[in-house]
Amino acid sequence: MREILGRRRRMRFGRKGGAARLDAALTCATVWQWPVLPGVGLQTAGSRGERGRGCACPDPECAVPGAHPFDPGLLAATTDARMVRWWWTNRPAAPVLLATGGRAPCALSLPAVAGARAVAELDRMGMRLGPVVATPTRWSLLVAPYTLERLGELLHAQDWVPSSLRFHGEGGYLVLPPSEIGTGQVRWERAPERDSRAGRDSRPGRGGGVPVVAAAPWLPDVGAVLDALVEASNSAPDGGSRLAY
């Protein structure tokens, strides 16, 4: 049964605007130990400071407006609270980027339509999913960290994988809620669940053991998710793929 997070979690992710992005970045970095950095964000347009949909980077034809590192670069991703506060105090509108791989989560992503079908089908199969990030164009299923070598072995063992599937591993990144990017808002389709190994906060005044976000969210193994996605994709009654889009 899905565990509902406590008040501390709701406070961090229930706020709006720059404060919400700062809180989200701090939760990821300091509570969950996920290295983060600010994305390039969107350019400002108009005399009233209204935000346009174009990327703030120098490339006028940027393929992922707002949703990539620029300055700082990906290698600057950190779990240091002081650095995180400084970044989002100075750039409150910046998207929150997760540097995937290493000790941080990795992800498998699909186009939004195929991703919605995949999540529904995996639910029907009884597959326990971890956090799912949704943008207007792609859905990303977060998984436990994996190496490129392991991913290669898993892919080699499959006869076929959906062509729309992408992998976000070591050296990659993923935009996290509550960011805004060129295609629109980023949100949790499935919010992170607290790891069952997390304890209870027994500090005075905390109700003698009220659950708090004391550990990183639970993440499924990449092999299990990949196997389930391939099975789901091959299970269409007409012989086609459920993950087509």
- Domain locations in the chain as residue ranges: 7-233
State pLDDT tens for residues 159-210. 888 888 999 999 999 999 999 999 999 999 999 986 655 444 433 343 333 3
3-state helix, strand, coil in the chain (%, to 5): 30, 20, 50
d(CA 170, CA 149): 11
State pLDDT tens for residues 18-67. 799 999 999 999 999 999 999 999 987 653 344 456 999 999 999 999 99
pLDDT of 234: 72
Q: What number of CA atoms fall less than 13 Å from residue 161's CA on the CB side?
A: 20
**Which of 96, 79, 77, 89 lies closest to 39 in space, CA to CA?**
96
**Tokens for 131?**
């956090």
Is residue 114 pLDDT above 80, yes or no? yes
Cα-trace Rg, the chain: 19
d(CA 154, CA 227): 9
Mean pLDDT of 215-237: 85
Instruction: Return phi, psi of residue 190, to 5°.
Output: -130, 115
- If residue 110 lies in a helix (H) or strand (E), which one and from where to where? strand 106-111
Residues 6+ apart with CB under 8 A from 27: 9, 12, 13, 213
Q: What percent of the chain has pLDDT over 90?
A: 69
Q: What percent of the chain has pLDDT over 70?
A: 76
DSSP codes, 128-194: PP--EEE-SSEEEEEE----HHHHHHHHHH-S---TT-EEE-TTEEEEETT-EETTEE-EEEEPPPB
Number of H helices, E strands in the chain: 6, 14
Distances (CA, A) of 105 to 34, 44, 146, 174: 8, 32, 8, 10
pLDDT of 193: 81
Q: Note whether 195 and 144 are within 8 A (CB).
A: no
